[in-house]
């Protein structure tokens, strides 16, 4: 996103028909637009709603609605902002937007790019980068828990936590730098200032933040859970049992599922994208070309999974086909062995955690052992039910926290071993602390490249 300070305008409400639609304008001086669209005699009082007609160029009314003027810096973007709230028909909204662009032509008013209003809020210090991302996350939240966590991040909880950690790093850096600048004092830095203790407390705090952020990332992204196994082991029945609805066709005929069937459910607020796939068997045994293509697509989904549920038939035990599937499963993806049809095999519903894998015994058709499966899914995902408030986090936040932890680990190595640390070790310690601080600051945007800003804000909806 190339920054251009020209005034911007966009329809700020979702596409389609609605009772209310909003056109938003932001810029340094919107007087001419206000007078042209709202009337030359109209004086809008900041932060007060005024009911009036929105005028076309010839003076005729386009619509009747509410105009609200926010004078800089007391606005969302930090600039002067005008919001025109009219009836939410797409034609009416487009007419009003076109009229505003026409009225603002002399001041360079143009259409806003996706996320540009929030980008300006970030540039004008109304929001930091983590809060700006939380705006998009709140809009896109797919569960109540995700929405609440996004709201926490938007209110600044995540940012405040990061700033407090950065302050601790800065304080430790200050002590290191002071020791380097005044070596004649002959102060045993590590002992007198408890540098090792401070560093260890910082690392402990970072670990706690990372744990919370990981939970928030689960709420935001969810998990792709792939059901894999031979034909007729009950994958579609299990999908229906998890979804609580008949979303997949179930028959005794092998190869019924030809392509993936995806259903998203919520479990403790986490979106789980359950993917039912074609039954896996030797390509030579497939009934036709369509089934062979379905089997190939199954392996593609398996490779992209966050968790794999390998279904097996409890009435017959493991077969050569099951062993072949196990041999081809990726090593870097958690796998749960799910033994289905215990209502026919005589097994009881239970979980066995063995060294090579976790085995779950259940019946999808009778809904036996489903709670055990749900519990194991959450455990494998790393979900922990705590009373702590969570903040929504993104993958880039987790990567930044990991990188900061790596630098702090290296810093701890330089601070260990001897009571007295030489100047070279102190230099390296100071550098690792500096790098850790930069990684943490990148979360809130204090040290962030323009390229990254472009990527982040371009994914916002237009009008936000």
Helix (H, G, I), strand (E, B) or coil at 439: helix
List, in sequence order, the alpha helices (H) in 319-420.
320-328, 342-345, 370-381, 395-415
- What gap in Å lies between CA 159 and CA 122, rounded to an integer? 13
Nearest in space to 72 (alpha carbons), one of 21, 36, 125 = 125
Question: What CATH topology corresponds to 142-439?
Answer: Rossmann fold (3.40.50)
The Cβ of residue 212 has, within 10 Å, a number of other Cβ atoms equal to 20
Q: DSSP label at 59? A: S
Helix (H, G, I), strand (E, B) or coil at 109: coil
- Helix (H) / strand (E) containing 61: strand 61-70
Residues 6+ apart with CB under 8 A from 3: 119, 123
- Beta bridge partners of residue 336, listed in sequence order: 309, 358
pLDDT, residue 188, reads 61
Q: Mean pLDDT per segment of 10 residues, for the chain of length 464 residues?
A: 82 90 95 93 93 94 95 95 94 95 94 92 91 86 80 88 92 80 57 83 93 81 84 86 62 48 80 79 53 68 83 88 84 88 91 89 91 88 64 86 95 72 77 93 78 66 72
Question: What CATH topology corresponds to 8-128?
Answer: Gyrase A; domain 2 (3.30.1360)
- Beta bridge partners of residue 396, listed in sequence order: none
Strands, DSSP E only, in 299-362?
307-313, 335-340, 350-353, 358-361
Handedness of CA 156, 159, 164, 170 (dihedral sign): negative
pLDDT, residue 148, reads 84
**DSSP codes, 148-202:** HHHHHHHTTHHHHHHHHHHHHHHHHHHHHHHHHH-GGG---HHHHTTHHHHHHHH
pLDDT, residue 214, reads 82
pLDDT, residue 253, reads 43
Strands, DSSP E only, in 194-306?
223-229, 261-267, 270-276
Helices 116-123 and 129-140: crossing angle in degrees, nearest 10, is 150
pLDDT, residue 215, reads 80
pLDDT, residue 250, reads 44
- What gap in Å lies between CA 331 and CA 311, rounded to an integer? 17
Q: What is the pTM of this model?
A: 0.71
pLDDT, residue 248, reads 45
- What gap in Å lies between CA 427 and CA 83, rounded to an integer? 54
Residues 6+ apart with CB under 8 A from 63: 53, 54, 86, 87, 92, 95, 96
- What gap in Å lies between CA 234 and CA 236, rounded to an integer? 6
What is the strand order of the sheet 61-70 is part of?
Answer: 49-55, 61-70, 80-88, 18-27, 8-11, 110-111
Helix (H, G, I), strand (E, B) or coil at 35: helix
- What gap in Å lies between CA 53 and CA 42, rounded to an integer? 11
- Helix (H) / strand (E) containing 70: strand 61-70
Domain ranges of the chain: 8-128, 142-439
pLDDT, residue 217, reads 78
pLDDT digits (tens, 9 = 90+) for 34-79: 999 999 888 999 999 999 999 999 999 999 999 999 999 999 999 9
């Amino acid at each position: 996103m190339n920054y251009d300070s020209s005034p911007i305008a966009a329809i700020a409400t979702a596409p389609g028909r609605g009772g209310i639609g909003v056109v938003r304008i932001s810029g340094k001086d919107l007087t001419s637009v206000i007078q042209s669209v709202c009337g030359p005699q109209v004086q809008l009082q900041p932060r007060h709603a005024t009911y009036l007609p929105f005028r076309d160029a010839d003076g005729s009314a386009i619509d009747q609605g509410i105009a609200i003027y926010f004078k800089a810096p007391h606005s969302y973007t930090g600039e002067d902002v005008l919001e025109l709230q009219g009836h939410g028909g797409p034609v009416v909204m487009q007419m009003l937007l076109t009229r505003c662009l026409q009225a603002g032509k002399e001041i360079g008013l143009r259409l806003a790019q996706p996320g540009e209003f929030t980008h300006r809020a970030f540039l004008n210090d109304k929001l930091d980068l983590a809060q700006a991302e939380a705006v998009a996350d709140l809009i896109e939240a797919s569960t109540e828990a995700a929405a609440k966590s996004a709201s926490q991040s938007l209110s600044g909880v995540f940012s405040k936590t990061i700033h407090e950690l950065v302050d601790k790093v800065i304080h430790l850096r200050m002590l290191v730098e002071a020791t380097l600048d005044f070596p004649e004092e002959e102060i045993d830095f590590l002992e007198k200032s408890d540098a090792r203790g401070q560093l260890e407390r910082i690392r402990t705090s970072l670990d706690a933040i990372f744990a919370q952020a990981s939970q928030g990332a689960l709420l935001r992204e969810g998990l792709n859970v792939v059901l894999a196994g031979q034909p007729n082991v009950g994958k579609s029945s299990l999908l229906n049992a998890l979804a609580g609805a008949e979303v997949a066709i179930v028959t005794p005929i092998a190869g019924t599922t030809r392509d993936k069937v995806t259903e998203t459910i919520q479990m403790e607020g986490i979106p789980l994208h359950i993917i039912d796939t074609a039954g896996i068997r030797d390509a030579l045994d497939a009934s036709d070309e369509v089934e062979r293509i379905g089997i190939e697509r199954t392996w593609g989904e398996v490779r992209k999974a966050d968790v794999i549920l390998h279904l097996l038939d409890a009435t017959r035990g493991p077969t050569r086909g099951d062993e072949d599937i196990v041999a081809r499963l990726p090593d870097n993806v958690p796998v749960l062995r799910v033994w289905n049809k215990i209502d026919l095999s005589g097994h009881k519903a239970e979980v066995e955690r063995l060294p090579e894998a976790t085995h779950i015994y259940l019946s999808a058709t009778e809904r036996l052992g489903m709670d055990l499966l749900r519990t194991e899914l959450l455990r494998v995902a790393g979900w922990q039910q705590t009373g702590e408030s969570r903040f929504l986090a993104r993958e880039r936040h987790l990567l930044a926290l990991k990188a900061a932890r790596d630098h702090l680990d290296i810093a701890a190595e330089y601070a260990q071993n001897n009571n007295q640390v030489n100047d070279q070790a102190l230099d390296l310690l100071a550098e690792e602390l500096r790098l850790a601080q930069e990684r943490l600051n990148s979360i809130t945007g204090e040290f962030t490249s323009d390229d990254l800003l472009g990527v982040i804000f371009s994914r916002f909806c237009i009008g936000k």
